[in-house]
Amino acid sequence: MKLKVGIINVTGYAGSELARLLYSHPQVELTSVTGRSAVGKKLAEVFPHMIDIKLNITEELGKVDLVFSAMPHKASAEVILPLIKQGVKVVDISADFRLKDAQEYPVWYDFVHPAPELLPEAVYGLPEFYRSKIAAARLVANPGCYPTGALLALAPVVKEGLVYPDIIVDSKSGVSGAGRTLSLTTHYSEATDNVSAYALKGHRHLPEIVQELKALSPGFAPAVTFVPHLVPTARGILSSCYARAKEGKLAKGEAELRKLYKDFYKGEPFVRIVDQPPGTKQTWGSNLCLIYPSLDSRTGKLVIVSCIDNLVKGAAGQAIQNMNIMFSFPEKAGLEVIPLYP
């Protein structure tokens, strides 16, 4: 019997990607989807490319074994809490359970958390870090798109104590990262032929990056400068991460660095250490994270480049990867997609 799953808020980009990927999952049946702005419509009316998925968008979920919540922050926690009490397992794509300190939510997300008692229990859903905890979880907090790329890029050198705490993360994202809600900055005339930095005084994903870097290496106090940029493409995130190697470390140069990364991610189904700097199109539509580690011998600076599809490994694909782990399915089930190119 297939696992019955539902999607809350299928009408957003992450929700629609979940539906697309779940449709071909061999051990899952997508039985219920909600979307407040499109209640009563067929899914294919809202997304014509999903003509083969014969589901109506409803106001409430039917009976399911697992729920993906693709609601915005704050609203997600409100709909999740009753489901948790009913014993339904949840993968939350919003930020509502990513941060362990409830005091951070008023600062970064402008709301008081309604269930701080669940924050210690919620498992941060980066499988490469927390696979065993995810397997036993009833509530998984799917990581943000920017943190996914940055953390996978930095994890090996931070965990091994090879770099100083002063770290720079320079990320560039396609406009789908802003969601489907209309806004001036993502209007075609504003975004096309244009690259712009934003949130220079602090992006909401910054505390998430800091929290998980600290967890990688007890006693490490990262001082992270995170600058996101909007670029005129539909999807994809390229992160260039900069850190200075500690004296006496990586004495054998870039060859030692690359071996460290290959050993660290050996056996990981979706992380690839590549031989040349990757581009975002090399991950489009896939759950892959491509990482290119390099060392500038003149300055002792590490430059680690990572690429992901923000809607797949940065959202829906990683959520399905987490579900697979939670229910002991093959981890690549439903996600064995070769990137779309060109």
Residues serving a catalytic function are: 145
> How do the residues of the chain divide into helix, strand and coil, expressed in percent and rounded to 5?
35, 25, 45
Gap between the Cα atoms of 221 and 171, Å rounded? 21
* Residue 180 amino acid letter: R
Gap between the Cα atoms of 307 and 195, Å rounded? 18
Which residues is 170 bridged to in the sheet? 227, 240
Gap between the Cα atoms of 297 and 257, Å rounded? 12
End-to-end CA distance of the chain: 38
Quick check: 21 and 91 in contact, CB under 8 A?
A: no
Among 156, 167, 157, 154, CA closest to 243: 167
Among 115, 114, 240, 110, CA closest to 170: 240
